[in-house]
Amino acid sequence: MSKPKVFVTQPIAESALARLRAVADVEVNPDSSQVLPKDKLIAGVKRADILLSLLHDRVDRDVLTANPKLKAVSAMNITQDLIDLQAATELGIPVTNITAMVTDATADIAFGLLLSVARNIALGDKLFRQGIYPGSQSNHLAGYAVSGKTLGLVGFGRIGQAVGRRGRGFGMKIIYCDPHRQSAEVEAQFDATYMSFEDVLKTADFVSMHPQLSPETRHLMSDKQFALMKPTAFIVNTSRGPIIDETALVRALKAKQIAGAGLDVYEHEPQVSPDLVAMTNVVLTPHLGSGVLELREGMAHVVVDNIIALIENKPPVSCLNPQVLKKLF
C-alpha cells in the first residue's frame, strides 16, 4: 500500500518533517520568504491527499475543491482564520488545528512593539544605520515613558493577561475590558481594574488589543474609538488585523488623535497601507507573534501528530469540524 501524499505550504521544523516522512510522501514548498500564491497552492493540493497549511494560507472553496481526493487539511492554526470551514465540512474534509500554545510568544511581541514605538527604538535603529547620531541628550528621538503608565487591555484572556503580567513588571497600572469580567482573585493578581471599553480607551496610555476576531469585533477600533483615546496614547495590535479599521487608524495618526501604533497584524494581510509604512511613529512587524524557534518546532509536531492520527484512523489532537471525522485511509 502506497503512502499518502502530503503537501506542505512552507518549510517547517526538520524534526517534524522527519516524523512525517516516515508515514507519508512529503512535498514541501521550499520558499519560506512569501505566502504561496493561490495558483501554486492549488497545484500542490492537486498532488496531495493531505494539505499541511500555515496560518497565512487562504484555504478557500477553490482550494478545497481543486482535488476531489483531498482527505484532510492539517492546519498550524489555533482558530479557523483563513480556512473556509463551512466548505470543508460540506465536502467531508476534516480540518485539524493546534492547541493554544502561543500565549507567551505573542505577549512578548506585543510588549516589544509597545516599547519600540514608545521609545523610538525602531526609528533610532534605522537612523543610526544611516549615520545619524543626534547626541545622547538630544530631544530628536525623545519618546514616551512606559514604566508607571496605564496599560489598557482590550480582552483579558490568556494573551491579555500575559501582556498584563509584563506590564506589571514595568510598574504599569492595569485596566481592562472583556465581555466576561474576571474573578476578584484574578483581578487581585494583576491589581487590575475592570472598565467599560470606552473608559479603557479614554484612560489608557497604551491600548493593547486581544479580542478574538468575530463579526462583532471586526472594526472594533474605528474613527469613534480612536477619537476617545488620548493624543499621547499608543495602540498595539497582535490579535487579528481586521480588529482595527486600518483606514481609520491612518486618519487618527494623521490627525494626531493618537501618538503612534505598533502592529503585528493587518486588515488586508499581507498588504499594509502605504501610509502606515511611511509613518515614523508606527512600528510594523510581519505577523511574528509565534515566531520563536522552539515554539514553531512544537507547533509543527502537533500538526504532524494530527496527520499521523488521521493516517492511523485515530482521533487527532484537535479538530475544528470533528463531525466529519471518519475512516480516511
When pLDDT is averaged across residues 143-160 and rounded to a whole number, the result is 97
Alpha-carbon gap, residue 165 to 173, rounded angstroms:
11
CA distance 30 to 168: 42
Positive or negative torsion for Cα 299, 300, 303, 304: negative
Q: 278-316: per-residue pLDDT in tens?
A: 999 999 999 999 999 999 999 999 999 999 999 999 999
Same domain, 121 and 231: yes
Residue 329 scores a pLDDT above 80: no
Q: What percent of the chain has pLDDT over 70?
A: 100
Q: 497584524: which residue's cell?
A: 265
Q: Is the pLDDT of residue 3 over 70?
A: yes
Catalytic center residues:
240, 269, 287
328, pLDDT greater than 80: no
Shared domain check, 107 and 95: no
Mean pLDDT of the chain: 96
Question: What was the pLDDT predicted at 200?
Answer: 98
Cell of 249: 487608524
Q: Do 174 and 307 fall into the same domain?
A: no
At residue 79, the pLDDT reads 87
- pLDDT tens, residue by residue, 87-98: 999 999 999 999
Instruction: Confirm whether 223 is domain-assigned.
Output: yes
Q: Report which of residues 45 and 1 the model is more confident about.
A: 45
* Average pLDDT score over residue span 112-138: 96
Q: What is the pLDDT of residue 86?
A: 96
**Mean pLDDT value across residues 30-43:** 96
Q: Where are the beta strands (DSSP E) in the chain?
A: 5-8, 25-28, 50-53, 72-75, 95-96, 150-154, 173-177, 192-194, 206-209, 234-237, 260-263, 282-284
Q: What is the mean pLDDT of residues 100-127?
A: 97
Same domain, yes or no: 36 and 149: no
Mean pLDDT of the 250-265 span: 98
Q: Say if residue 171 is in the same domain as residue 40.
A: no
Judge if 16 and 59 occupy the same domain: yes
In a domain, 86, yes or no: yes
Same domain assignment for residues 113 and 250 = yes
In a domain, 119, yes or no: yes
Ordered DSSP codes for 190-206: HTEEE--HHHHHHH-SE
CATH code (residue 140): 3.40.50.720
pLDDT tens profile 188-242: 999 999 999 999 999 999 999 999 999 999 999 999 999 999 999 999 999 999 9
At residue 294, the pLDDT reads 95
What's the CA gap between 301 and 16, in Å, rounded?
A: 5
Domain-embedded: residue 224:
yes
Asked if residue 156 and residue 128 are part of one domain, the reply reads: yes
**Residue-range definition of the domain harbouring residue 219:** 103-284
Q: Are 207 and 150 in contact (CB under 8 A)?
A: no
Please state the domain count of the chain: 2
Do 275 and 139 lie in one domain? The reply is yes
Assign 59 a pLDDT band (cuts: 50, 70, 90): very high
pLDDT value for 1: 66
Report how many helices (DSSP H) and strands (DSSP E) the chain contains, helices first.
13, 12
Same domain, 180 and 217: yes
Residue 28 lies in a domain: yes
Q: Using the predicted structure, report yes or no on whether residue 81 has a pLDDT greater than 90.
A: no
Per-residue pLDDT, 184:
97
Does the structure show a pLDDT above 70 at 123? Answer: yes
Looking at the structure, do residues 167 and 241 belong to the same domain, yes or no? yes
Q: For residue 329, is it within any domain?
A: no
Q: Do residues 168 and 35 both lie within one domain?
A: no
Judge whether 200 lies within some domain. Answer: yes
Question: Is residue 268 in some structural domain?
Answer: yes
